[in-house]
Each structure stands twice: as C-alpha cells, then as structure tokens.
Amino acid sequence: MSFVLDNSVVMRWYFGDGSEADLEYAIRVLDSMKTAGARVSGVWGLEVANVLARAESKGLTTEARSEAFVGMLNRMDISNDGATAMQALAGILQVARRYNLSSYDASYLELAMREDLPLATLDEDLLRAAKRAGVKRFLEE
C-alpha cells in the first residue's frame, strides 16, 4: 500500500525526538516501508535539506551523519510527485486557504487527496486538516 509521507515523520527518524507516541508512530511508518512505497510532495527534498543544513549550522549534527541519512533515504522506496509545481497555484493554494495551512503542508494534503492515499504525519495542524478533508492517517483505521 502506498501513502503520502510528510517530513515531520522523516525528521523523527533522524533526530529521535518528540513524544513517545510520536516516536512510536514514526518507527511504525519506517517499518512499513519494508512493504509499502511512499509518495512525497515536490517540496520534500527541499524540506529535508533545509532541516539538515540548519541542524548542522547549529552544531546539532554533522555533515557526515546528514549524508549517511540522505543515503538511506535515497535507497528507500520514496517517489517524488512531479505535479507539485503545477498544482501550486491551483489545488495546493485552494487547500492552503480552505484548511489554513502553509503551502508546504498543503502540498502533502493535496497530494493525498488527489491520489486518494493516507497521510503519514506528526504535524498537528496537518493532521486536523486531513481529518476535516476526509484523508485518513496512515496506519490508523
């Protein structure tokens, strides 16, 4: 089964921070990647790079550790949505307006809606918006 993967989950894999419930969810999502493929918004790579670069500049991690993590991500079954840019001023803008989300968060929700996929996220605002939009959270019934 495919699902949309939000960066909030990916960063829990890297940093291992957050609540116990968030970490457990992130680990379950990671384990599911053995059999499920993930779809990501076209902004996902930029988000990952931004978080890693900022963490490095603050001395929270090293370039070597970040590169190893990026290598792991590159080996995973994660496919980038090629339509994100085309949807930015149409569907994504409408989703951002309707659910009061940043355009970045809206891009994940719009992708899940467009492809009728569940969404793996730890972002509370995105989770609330997904629920209102009728998008299921990945690994929840």
CA 104, CA 125: separation in Å to the nearest integer? 12
Over pLDDT 70: what percentage of the chain?
99
Question: pLDDT tens digits, residue range 42-90?
Answer: 999 999 999 999 999 999 999 999 999 999 999 999 999 988 888 888 8
Helix (H, G, I), strand (E, B) or coil at 88: helix
Three-state SS string over 24-57 comes to HHHHHHHHHCCCCCEEECCCHHHHHHHHHHHHHH
- Burial class of residue 2 (count of CB atoms within 10 Å of its CB; 0-12, 13-18, 19+): middle
Vertex 28: Cα angle to 24 and 32 (nearest 5): 170
CATH topology of domain 3-133: Rossmann fold (3.40.50)
pLDDT of residue 140: 86
Every domain of the chain and the residues it spans: 3-133
pLDDT at 1 over 80: no
How do strand 119-120 and strand 3-5 relate by DSSP bridges?
parallel
Question: pLDDT tens digits, residue range 7-20?
Answer: 999 999 999 999 99
Question: pLDDT tens digits, residue range 98-111?
Answer: 999 999 999 999 99
